[in-house]
Chain A
């Protein structure tokens, strides 16, 4: 471990890293503040621009976008009562009423402080827990990895929007897509339709751009949005967060950040659930005189520290086990792959200095997030008033260039456009699109390790239940499915109650 300190620090303390980290955070806040553009879309659009960068600046840009977008979502929630991202939906319940009372600055200060706090807790949990999980994961063999892939695929149960059959269809489509190309075990081409370009398979980045970016652009073309520009007008001199107010929210932030970090580390639930649970918890523990729903500071602190608490910690299962817990992690997985990093337990051995530098960078990024939020907020709010028509056209243009840049192949542009259209029609049928990505990532892992496991055991299926870790993962998968389904029902109920009380239309899950 000590031998890693030198290379890690020399990898980290390069000016380029901090420049790109700041660019990522800035763009993330801007994208996050624009309603309809979430962290996944922002990272997907930015992904092609990172191809030319070295590994660390590229990862810092993308993780910066991720952290920034989570805070950015709260800006439009507070200023125009429309959450920029789903994760910020709970923030508007107290953020907007406080802004209406004439304290938008105070509300934004609180959101920023809580976001930074949550982000720090999350980044430290990534830094300290990832190596521990890796130590266990290094003992895994093919049966355990097969069980892990199935565990990862079980997340589909939680992200299927109440209809698991549809989630499985989408997941199946993703797995089927991943089979295109030469089979890694037998060397036999599958579904290449005679095209040499398809021998290397369908590029995940092209599919990501189609599913998350192009389909959204098509939606924006159909439902023409009027300019939802945020405004941060002149306010009174006491419109800022005082130290006393900040101190009063520290217990709420500590509790919510820890809650967020734990929920973030579990594949499946995601930051939006963390923020609702934290809001409910803060409300349940409210002292007399604290009026949630009317501009209570703790009502902003709880969801913001929870949703940022769930950011870096989502990288724990990704980096250590190779399991992306949500769409953002799956997109980041694309970035890791593009830069030659193979996620999983061996990542810490093969690329230790880079990964440790990235994790320390996640901590540093929180300070840049705070500084940018504090001093550039007015500029950011101005940038977010780009007219939606223009933004859509510009994003389409960027995506097209980005898809080609993946491998200098026109086929990737076609794949992106085709999957944009497919994802649009899937939305019409309530078929969720995130399972496609999960299927694409985890399908090949499951197939390869299943074949290797059976080769190891001479065709005996009992290998999966005779190895204790494998059996434990299988049992945990069933427990997780049960808990996620139970948690989903609870969250939906809480969300309905909260929004009904606040008389606000809940955001869609798209």
Chain B
């Protein structure tokens, strides 16, 4: 199954919404400056970026809807589902990373091979054989405290 979408329209809408969200988040997450006379405060730049997102988003929407300048793109659902499943694997990896580097990273390496459709056991062995020395390289040579 394929999904058609218009690049400018979708990115314009996302940008405008993101701008509004950032605008709302600014006062919630950035306290007002102590120096009340300052022309540029800690909030000025984030507000400007929020405004930029909204303006650029509206510009893209206008390009798509008013000036009819847009590119129709096709999303092959099967392929994207594979990507989403791979991203879910990354999420699992992220959750387990703090418990064991070797275990979680081997899992991600094997998943990457499996998602590529690899059926050669040797490649899985090579990936595992690389994770272990990599762990020792980082922990013993580079003194990185990998979990």
Given known pairs A392-B112, A413-B94, A421-B90, the reply for A401 and B123 (CB within 8 Å) is no
Total residues of chain A contacting the partner, CB 8 A: 60
**Across the interface, which residues of B come within 8 angstroms of A192, CB to CB?**
29
CB of A51 to closest CB in B, whole Å = 6
A397 near B105 with CB under 8 A, answer yes
Q: A169, A188, A221: which contacts B15 (Cβ < 8 A)?
A: A169
CB of B73 to closest CB in A, whole Å = 7
A400 near B52 with CB under 8 A, answer no
**Across the interface, which residues of B come within 8 angstroms of A163, CB to CB?**
8
Total residues of chain B contacting the partner, CB 8 A: 70
If over half of B's interface residues share one DSSP class (helix, strand or loop), that class is named, otherwise mixed; here it is: helix
Interface string of B104-119 (1 = CB under 8 A from A): 0100111011011110
**Across the interface, which residues of A come within 8 angstroms of B39, CB to CB?**
454, 459
B56 near A169 with CB under 8 A, answer yes
B11 near A186 with CB under 8 A, answer no
CB of A415 to closest CB in B, whole Å = 10
CB of B86 to closest CB in A, whole Å = 5
**Stretch of A126-134, A329-337, A427-435, A471-479 that contacts chain B:** A427-435
Complex Cα gap A51–B29 (Å): 33
B86 near A221 with CB under 8 A, answer yes
Give the residues from 116 to 147 in chain B that come closer than 8 angstroms, CB to CB, to chain A: 116-118, 123, 126-127, 130-131, 134-135, 138, 141-147
Q: B11, B82, B113: which contacts A429 (Cβ < 8 A)?
A: B11
B33 near A188 with CB under 8 A, answer yes
Complex Cα gap A420–B86 (Å): 12
A430 near B116 with CB under 8 A, answer no
**Across the interface, which residues of B come within 8 angstroms of A175, CB to CB?**
45, 49
Complex Cα gap A12–B5 (Å): 55
Give the residues from 1 to 60 in chain B that come closer than 8 angstroms, CB to CB, to chain A: 7-8, 10-11, 14-15, 22, 25, 29-31, 33-35, 38-42, 45-46, 49, 52-53, 56-57, 59-60
Given known pairs A190-B30, A389-B116, A390-B126, the reply for A410 and B56 (CB within 8 Å) is no
A387 contacts partner chain B, Cβ-Cβ < 8 Å: yes
Complex Cα gap A217–B87 (Å): 11
B123 near A165 with CB under 8 A, answer no
**Stretch of A28-36, A251-259, A443-451 that contacts chain B:** A443-451
Given known pairs A165-B63, A429-B11, the reply for A396 and B112 (CB within 8 Å) is yes
- Per CB-CB distance, the 3 closest pairs between chain A and chain B, nearest first, are A389-B116, A393-B112, A429-B11
